[in-house]
Chain A
């Protein structure tokens, strides 16, 4: 395995920060070596200095994309942490449906939900399943479910809607599995009905939120933990601006906005917390 020197760690972590906003400190030597080694080998890099030069010089940004795919953590599962989904089902969605009820029965109810770090898609499909179960008939609604992630590979898998048996076994109850997925050999494919509800695209949370629109619910779970405090402040400030005035923000169960964004106030329901604008 290609060894990384202390100077190279500085160089590479700075580069990773620039392209992804992910902040790795010098203690992450092992993580860098194990995750970047195969890319370094593929491009026949003699050192991490060389690796850096090749990545910077690559106009196609192919190496850069591979680095982001390798460095970003895609630990996720269907209905990861049941709290937020119970919150959606019993509190947030019923409230929103009331608040967004159209004046005329001819009109549809609009719901816009964003999974800001959608990884391989399980979170957003879990939201789609929750909506299906709750609404039964979705024809009276215009639902926009957007999933974004910085990793091309994660976005591609999310878009394909295909999961292997290890991914599918995690978090998904048997009845939901058979209702919303079809087996294709060793993989399971999400139903067309569910797939049609969602959209995935690549997006770097460090970039400006221009054109992203406003949302009724934003889920931004377990991603800000990889950012510096300064970047976290900027991120949640942008999220506050992308949220409808009565919208809902859900963050990771072990995350906190104390000292991060004074525009939000936490509210507790059942055993979970969600945030709304002050």
Chain B
């Protein structure tokens, strides 16, 4: 069962339909956008695990701009860019900017599914690590609370003990007075 939600941005209607069909057949939750502008609007209102985007799209928002936008919203969103064979260099540039991978046209869907599985695995591991960390934090916070209370209490007791010792060791005072002052100190604790 694939539970990741994927946003596909491509201005080519044929490719869009192909992505929509193949990805939903695999069980992914797919949303398609006709261009970068629509994709940006969707990113703003919904959350996605993966964005697959064509590098070259009409309008002000191309693949690179969409990549930047997605990473700005959350660095947890993984972006795969689609590129023509001739523009692999641009795809490498996109990876330097934070894209997780690139696909060359024509799309090899088996390859895409493998990459998506890898992304899902990493996300699952991250979630697992996050859960463990959360459990550790809860334990640590609770332990810290107890230890700090004990630490403060111990410091108070120690301070009293020090005072009592000083009073009792002061031979210039009468024995009974010393005992009385020491007792008062212990009672005031």
Query: A interface vs B, CB < 8 Å?
Result: 81, 83, 165-166, 168-170, 183-186, 253-258, 265-266, 268, 272-273
Does residue B62 face the partner (Cβ distance < 8 Å to A)?
Answer: no
Q: Smallest CB-CB separation from A187: which chain B residue?
A: B98
Given contacts A183-B71, A268-B152, A273-B152, contact A255 B98 (CB under 8 A): no
Q: Smallest CB-CB separation from A169: which chain B residue?
A: B75
Report yes or no: B143 in contact with A257, Cβ–Cβ below 8 A: no
Q: Which of B96, B97, B144 contacts A253 (CB 8 A)?
A: B144
Report chain A residues within 8 Å CB of B185.
none
Contact with A along B83-115 (1 / 0, CB 8 A): 000000000000111100000000000000000
Report chain B residues within 8 Å CB of A254.
140, 143-144, 147
Does residue B186 face the partner (Cβ distance < 8 Å to A)?
Answer: no
Q: Smallest CB-CB separation from B96: which chain A residue?
A: A185
How long is the Cα–Cα vector from A22 to B150 in the complex, in angstroms?
A: 26
Report yes or no: A165 in contact with B152, Cβ–Cβ below 8 A: no
Report chain B residues within 8 Å CB of A183.
71, 97-98
Contacts between the two chains (Cβ within 8 Å), count: 48
Report chain A residues within 8 Å CB of B148.
253, 266, 268, 272-273
Report chain B residues within 8 Å CB of A170.
133
Q: Smallest CB-CB separation from A168: which chain B residue?
A: B75
Report chain A residues within 8 Å CB of B155.
265-266
Does residue B124 face the partner (Cβ distance < 8 Å to A)?
Answer: no
Q: Smallest CB-CB separation from B129: which chain A residue?
A: A166
How long is the Cα–Cα vector from A113 to B75 in the complex, in angstroms?
A: 32
Contact with A along B113-151 (1 / 0, CB 8 A): 000000000000010000001000000110110011011
Query: B interface vs A, CB < 8 Å?
Result: 71, 75-76, 95-98, 126, 133, 140-141, 143-144, 147-148, 150-152, 154-155
How long is the Cα–Cα vector from A168 to B98 in the complex, in angstroms?
A: 13
Given contacts A166-B126, A265-B155, contact A256 B75 (CB under 8 A): no
Report yes or no: B140 in contact with A165, Cβ–Cβ below 8 A: no
Report chain B residues within 8 Å CB of A273.
148, 151-152
Given contacts A165-B75, A169-B75, A183-B98, contact A256 B151 (CB under 8 A): yes
Report chain A residues within 8 Å CB of B151.
256-258, 266, 273
Closest 10 CB pairs of A and B: A253-B144, A185-B96, A254-B143, A266-B151, A273-B148, A258-B154, A254-B144, A266-B155, A256-B151, A256-B147
Report yes or no: A185 in contact with B95, Cβ–Cβ below 8 A: yes
How long is the Cα–Cα vector from A256 to B148 in the complex, in angstroms?
A: 8
Known pairs A165-B75, A253-B148, A254-B147; list 13 more (Cβ under 8 Å): A166-B126, A183-B71, A183-B97, A183-B98, A185-B98, A186-B98, A253-B140, A254-B143, A256-B150, A258-B154, A266-B152, A268-B148, A268-B152
Determine the main DSSP class of A at the interface with B. Answer: mixed
How long is the Cα–Cα vector from A273 to B144 in the complex, in angstroms?
A: 10
Best-surrounded residue of A81, A183, A254 (most CB of chain B within 10 A): A254
Given contacts A186-B98, A266-B152, contact A255 B147 (CB under 8 A): yes
Nearest Cβ on chain A to B158's Cβ, whole angstroms: 8
How long is the Cα–Cα vector from A265 to B162 in the complex, in angstroms?
A: 13
How long is the Cα–Cα vector from A272 to B126 in the complex, in angstroms?
A: 29
Nearest Cβ on chain A to B57's Cβ, whole angstroms: 22
Q: Smallest CB-CB separation from A83: which chain B residue?
A: B144
Report yes or no: A258 in contact with B150, Cβ–Cβ below 8 A: yes
How long is the Cα–Cα vector from A185 to B71 in the complex, in angstroms?
A: 11
How long is the Cα–Cα vector from A258 to B98 in the complex, in angstroms?
A: 48
How long is the Cα–Cα vector from A246 to B71 in the complex, in angstroms?
A: 45
Nearest Cβ on chain B to A108's Cβ, whole angstroms: 35
Q: Smallest CB-CB separation from B137: which chain A residue?
A: A81
